[in-house]
């Protein structure tokens, strides 16, 4: 049996004892969100990168398990603080941005995992290949911006094998191992603003 409790004027509600956002469609705020990844380099260190261009929305349903999220990422916006490496990542060896200009995620299932954590399963498309992934998601809270918009925040992470998506380029080291690790950690920090109906003013 499920139960939802919402206090008058509240920014969140309680659902089966867990804090969740109020219902609505929230557009991801690119300026206050990050899409980052971490991969091993030379088997000894971690290189962090990000995508600067992305857009999407989170739709929070009355029953949270019926919620959904969809995000599109500009593949050419990849940035790792090293221009030569960025160009290589955009090339046919990796993302092949000329033929596959976007990455895409669309959720297929949302589950409460307990202790304020959720599991969001979805289809991730990279370089034209689609594979299921599971995001570990935590709701970070809600607030009202100085401009009157209702905003919510989430953090999420998952691990993928880049070779599952056709990103198989590598070089073998003389001492064993490879230049680039197969496992890639994806980390998301998302702020999203409630979408206003046409003609409606932010409260």
Q: Of 166, 64, 61, 92, which is closest to residue 124 (Cα–Cα)?
A: 166
How would you write the pLDDT of the chain (203 residues) with one tens digit per residue? Answer: 455 655 545 899 999 889 999 999 999 999 999 999 988 654 446 788 899 999 999 999 999 999 999 999 999 999 988 898 889 889 888 889 999 999 999 999 999 997 779 999 999 999 999 999 999 999 999 999 888 899 999 999 999 998 899 877 554 433 443 345 678 899 999 999 999 765 555 44
Environment class of residue 126 by beta-carbon count within 10 Å: exposed (0-12), middle (13-18) or buried (19+)? buried
Name beta bridge partners: 129.
126
Relative to beta strand 78-79, strand 68-74 is unpaired
Distances from the Cα of 51 to the Cαs of 15, 82, 90, 158, in angstroms?
33, 14, 12, 16
pLDDT of residue 181: 65
Q: Of 84, 69, 94, 97, which is closest to residue 158 (Cα–Cα)?
A: 69
pLDDT of residue 46: 79
pLDDT of residue 10: 85
CA separation for the pair 197, 182 (Å, rounded): 44
Name beta bridge partners: 184.
39, 160
pLDDT of residue 197: 66
Q: Of 182, 140, 125, 126, which is closest to residue 159 (Cα–Cα)?
A: 182
pLDDT of residue 170: 55
pLDDT of residue 173: 34
CB 157 within 8 A of CB 136: yes
- DSSP of 69-124, one letter per residue? EEEEEEGGGEE-S-HHHHHHHHSTTTT-TTT--EEEEEEEEEEEEETTEEEEEEEE
CA separation for the pair 159, 134 (Å, rounded): 9
CB 118 within 8 A of CB 125: no
Cβ within 8 Å of residue 146, ≥6 positions away: none
């Amino acid at each position: 049996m499920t139960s939802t409790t919402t206090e008058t004027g509240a920014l969140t509600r309680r659902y089966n004892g867990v804090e969740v956002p109020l219902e609505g469609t929230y557009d991801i705020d690119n300026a206050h969100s990050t899409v980052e990844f971490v991969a091993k380099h030379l088997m000894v260190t971690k290189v962090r990168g990000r995508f600067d261009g992305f857009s999407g929305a989170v739709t929070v349903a009355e029953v949270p398990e019926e919620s959904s999220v969809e995000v599109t990422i500009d593949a050419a916006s990849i940035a790792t603080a090293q221009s030569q490496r960025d160009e290589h990542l955009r090339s046919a060896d990796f993302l092949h941005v000329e033929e596959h200009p976007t990455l895409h995620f669309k959720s297929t299932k949302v589950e409460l995992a307990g202790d304020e954590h959720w599991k969001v399963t979805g289809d991730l498309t990279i370089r034209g290949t689609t594979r299921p992934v599971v995001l570990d998601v935590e709701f970070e809270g809600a607030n009202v911006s100085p401009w009157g918009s209702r905003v919510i925040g989430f953090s999420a992470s998952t691990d993928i094998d880049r070779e599952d998506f056709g990103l198989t380029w590598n070089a073998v080291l003389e001492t064993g191992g490879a230049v680039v690790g197969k496992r890639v950690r994806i980390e998301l920090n998302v702020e999203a603003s409630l979408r206003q109906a046409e003609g409606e003013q932010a409260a």
